[in-house]
Amino acid sequence: MERTYLMIKPDAVQRGLIGEIICRFEQKGFKLVAMKFIRLTKEMAEKHYGEHADKPFFAGLVEYITSGPVVAMAWEGKDVIAVSREMMGATNPSKAAPGTIRGTFAVDIGRNVIHGSDSPASAEKELAIYFEEADFVEWNRTV
């Protein structure tokens, strides 16, 4: 079954949106298989966002993502990578469709509420930054 890495960012944690965001993925039918409430170190942030290291917003991005706790999660389900990105909406919240997570809760690309892996390769890389194999739970599929 496909897995993705989703992260509720510090702005959403501060605004009390954790439950609302998790609720959407639960209601959709995806399964939460690992979760940590942590504050990223600078090293973790730079590893996660390494592909943006040469971008002008990189320093601000690292500062923001390490500014408070995040909810780091692994979710599992059919086409979860693509579908969760649809549910999140465009990276720039002012372009995100109404009803999507970013379209509902954000206006600023620098405070865009949630991160989700954009491909199977990114999901594998990102999940490995935050979790080890023992962190993933097995659901009882008969319930």
Question: Least separation, in Å, of the C-beta of 74 and ligand CMP?
Answer: 16
Residue (28 or 55) nearer to ligand CMP, CB: 55
Is 129 a binding residue for ligand CMP by CB under 6 A? The answer is: no
Q: Are 71 and 13 in contact (CB under 8 A)?
A: yes
d(CA 105, CA 90): 12
Strand order of the β-sheet with 31-38 is 31-38, 70-76, 3-8, 114-116
Question: Least separation, in Å, of the C-beta of 92 and ligand CMP?
Answer: 7
d(CA 141, CA 76): 13
Is 22 a binding residue for ligand CMP by CB under 6 A? The answer is: no
Residue (51 or 137) nearer to ligand CMP, CB: 51
Member of 29, 50, 110, 120 binding ligand CMP (CB under 6 A): 110
d(CA 91, CA 85): 9
Q: Are 52 and 59 in contact (CB under 8 A)?
A: no
Member of 109, 122, 125, 129 binding ligand CMP (CB under 6 A): 109
Q: Are 77 and 31 in contact (CB under 8 A)?
A: yes
Is 90 a binding residue for ligand CMP by CB under 6 A? The answer is: no
Q: Are 96 and 63 in contact (CB under 8 A)?
A: no
The stretch near ligand CMP (CB under 6 A) out of 28-36, 104-112, 124-132, 134-142 is 104-112
Question: Least separation, in Å, of the C-beta of 21 and ligand CMP?
Answer: 14
Which segments are annotated as binding site?
9, 57, 85, 91, 102, 112
